[in-house]
Chains A and B, each alone.
Chain A
Amino acid sequence: MTDPSLHPAAEAAAARPRTLFDKIWDAHTVKTLEDGRDLLFVDRHILQETTSAQAFENLARAGRKVRHPDLTVATQDHIVSTRPGRDEDTNPGGRELLGLMRTNTAANGIRHFGVDDPRQGIVHVMGPETGFALPGCLLTCGDSHTSTVGGLGAVGLGVGTSEVEHVLATQTLAMARPLTMRVTFNGVPGPGVSAKDLILHMIGELGFASGRGCAVEYAGPAIRALPVEGRLTVCNMSIEFGARLGLIAPDEATIDYVRGREFAPTGGAFDRAVAEWLRLHSDSDARFGRDFTIDCWRIAPQVTWGTSPQDVAGVDKAVPDPARFADAKRRELAAAALRYMGLEPGMPLEGIPIDVAFIGSCTNARLSDLIAAAAVARGRKVAPNVRALVVPGSMSVKRDAEALGLHRVFLDAGFEWRDAGCSMCVSINEDVVPPGARCMATSNRNFENRQGPRSRTHLASPAMVAAAAIRGRITDVRKETAA
């Protein structure tokens, strides 16, 4: 039986098996434009201070208004001081942009969770934890790691400032439909292996440009077994292999996570939402443009040795010899990376001394990350030559951690216990790695100069960074937990 009201093309589309990504994308397509791009409705928009000032300025210059101020929220995260008790003036270098954020949002009727608000935090931490980001929604933010919300089963699109302006003015985004890709994680990861290790390992296996142009769905038992915070970590790093976004189908764990959050629907509306969220999964016969499998059994805790996230290995391995890469370009890149990092081929990764340990960022500064780090740090001391920082991803994470007494664990061990912000992930506030110093970090980028001029970055999980802080050198956390 066919429904006569259905146009034949629409009927065919409805019958065609679709991926999770297709379902969300289709539901948000206002229309397809003449140039082939889709005009997408943006349900949720988050602003951060370093990519929005220009957008408001252009908007005002063109005499345009914010169309749906209630569908946007703003926070201050990148350039805020993380000194405990800080305010907008603590980091003088941040004053201008922080002030602009406050005045621009006030002038346009947009809710602003600035440093004086209990909800302040890194956009990608604050979005899910306030319930502003929801499963099945399409969310944009002027920040590349917006893909983080994919961990809830949302489409998160990182955009530039012109597009921030476009969303403010029209509540839409014009974009070509990405290709689809799926990565299935099979098996059960061993002890000491976290969500961060899974995604770092995957980027090492597939290469750092392997996701370009793609919407990537993460699937398989190892992904299903991850708590929602771990899924946010995995989707966060989609950007580090070039993907446009990453996402994971919502399930009971997702629903439990969302329930009761400030902006989440309540009562009957919540039930209607849940009914829809549970339909958000790829049809069993849906086809993906590309399909990969990762075996999780043998993944060791990961640590990067170079200046690209694909320069990664198990902590029990040695710094690779660039000459052994088959690809000539990769050989060159790896050799340059080792020169920058001050490492020699064949050196065991374990034992490389560090100067700074950074636990923070939108990748790994949620409560579960701090719990994992505290488990390693408890009752021990940071090595004397190491500066170690814990920067919670949001003030809400900070309060929750303090309720569990984690701040005592960190402070007693000699870690700094700071206020929320991006901090040493991007180092545009005053948290900077000194020139030539080596930092073990839970963030997502190990580019040259990222954490400060000539800074050297090793990416790893929170437990691994805590272990390195204690030992003063890169350490296999599996040995620590066994001890």
Chain B
Amino acid sequence: MRTPLSTVSGVLAVLPETNVNTDAIIPSAWLRTAKADLARGLFGARRFDEDGRERPGFVLNQGPFRTAKFLLSGENFGCGSSREAAVWALAQFGIRCVFAPSFADIFYENAFRNGVLAGIVDEATGAALAAAVERHCDAPDFTVDLPAGVIVDPDGHRHAFTVPPHRAAALIRGDDDIDLTLRHLDDIDGYFSAAKRDRDWLYTPTTDTRRQTP
């Protein structure tokens, strides 16, 4: 079970850029240990200078956005490497939902697997949300209503986002993918027995000793 996600309120931060890559979301320096403080590493090189001081220009260093729960960005968010730490960093920082016109494939998968919503908003909706943040920059409090598929802005306007129904349902239930798959164990074992018969050459990668150390 993961923490279910249904209706959440919080601050929406805007990162108005396209192609935000996973190296930018979590620089590789933060991947050197299994126990890194990824919340601090989030957008590391963008948030902090080389001496570790905050860069005041970066949105997450400004007023209410320090506690943002939602992030709005441009096309192809999360492109680049497959590092799941990009999603962990967002989640550990407290970001529950990311909205963008499109996402890179692996990032998209990783987000849902960690209970983070990756919602698709078209350009016009993105612009309207950004304008709402601008109008309420002192208290940019939004509500994401996942069952309804909308983001409610501080003025009460509802902005639609897209998420495949089965993914929304899994987030709302807090599904764990491994538990779900293990329900199909009989099918998996059945497949494997048949495949071993049909492709006997494929499932014996065990010739460990044939050519050891030269």
Contact = CB atoms under 8 A, between A and B. Distances in A.
Do these two chains really belong together in a complex? yes
Interface of A: 30-31, 33-36, 39, 41, 43-44, 50-51, 53-54, 57, 62, 64, 70-71, 73, 79, 93-94, 96-97, 100, 111, 117-118, 131-132, 134, 136-137, 142-144, 158-163, 165-166, 169-172, 174-175, 208-209, 212-213, 242, 244, 262-263, 265-266, 269-270, 272-273, 276, 308, 329, 333, 399, 426-428, 435, 445, 447-450, 453
B76 A209 contact: yes
A170 B186 CA distance: 11
Given A162-B113, A262-B210, A449 B188 contact: no
A172 B188 contact: yes
Nearest to B49: A453
Interface of B: 18-19, 21, 23-24, 27-29, 31-34, 45, 50, 75-76, 79-85, 87, 102, 104-106, 109-110, 113-114, 164, 166-167, 170, 177-178, 180-182, 184-185, 187-188, 191-192, 195, 199-208, 210-214
A311 to B, nearest CB: 12
Most buried by B among A136, A142, A171, A172: A172
Contacts of B166: 34-36
A426 B22 CA distance: 12
User: Which A-B residue pairs are the 6 nearest by beta carbons?
Assistant: A35-B166, A160-B84, A265-B201, A144-B82, A269-B201, A162-B113
A428 B32 contact: yes
Given A132-B205, A171-B188, A428-B31, A118 B81 contact: no
A44 B188 CA distance: 15
Contacts of B105: 212-213, 242, 244
Contacts of B23: 445, 447-450
Contacts of A43: 202-203
B175 to A, nearest CB: 10
B29 A57 contact: no
Contacts of A57: 34
A271 B214 CA distance: 27
Nearest to B107: A160
Contacts of A117: 213
A312 to B, nearest CB: 16
B19 A308 contact: yes
Contacts of B81: 143-144, 426, 445
A35 B163 CA distance: 13
B110 A160 contact: yes
Nearest to B74: A329
B84 A162 contact: yes
B205 A272 contact: no
A39 B83 contact: no
Contact of A39 (B187, B192, B195, B213): B187
Contact of B191 (A41, A50, A64, A329): A41
8 contacts: A39-B188, A41-B188, A43-B203, A118-B212, A137-B202, A162-B177, A170-B188, A174-B181
Given A163-B113, A333-B18, A30 B178 contact: no
Contacts of A100: 34
A41 B192 contact: yes
A118 B75 CA distance: 43
A53 B44 CA distance: 22
A229 B212 CA distance: 24
Contacts of A163: 109, 113
B102 A212 contact: yes
Contacts of A269: 200-201, 204
Given A31-B187, A165-B178, A166-B177, A143 B82 contact: yes
A449 B45 contact: yes
Given A54-B34, A160-B84, A272-B201, A62 B191 contact: no
A134 B202 contact: yes
A273 B184 contact: no
B214 A399 contact: yes
A272 B187 CA distance: 26
Contacts of A273: 199, 201-202
A51 B188 contact: no
Contacts of B167: 35
Given A212-B105, A445-B81, A449-B23, 18 more contacts: A39-B187, A43-B202, A73-B205, A97-B32, A159-B82, A160-B106, A166-B181, A172-B184, A209-B76, A213-B105, A242-B79, A262-B207, A266-B207, A270-B201, A399-B214, A426-B81, A447-B23, A453-B45
Nearest to A268: B201
Contacts of B187: 30-31, 39
A276 B195 CA distance: 13
A150 to B, nearest CB: 15
B103 to A, nearest CB: 9
Contacts of A162: 84, 110, 113-114, 177
Contacts of A329: 18
Contacts of A136: 202
B84 A170 contact: no
Nearest to A170: B181
A212 B105 CA distance: 7
Contacts of B28: 426-428, 450
A142 B83 CA distance: 8
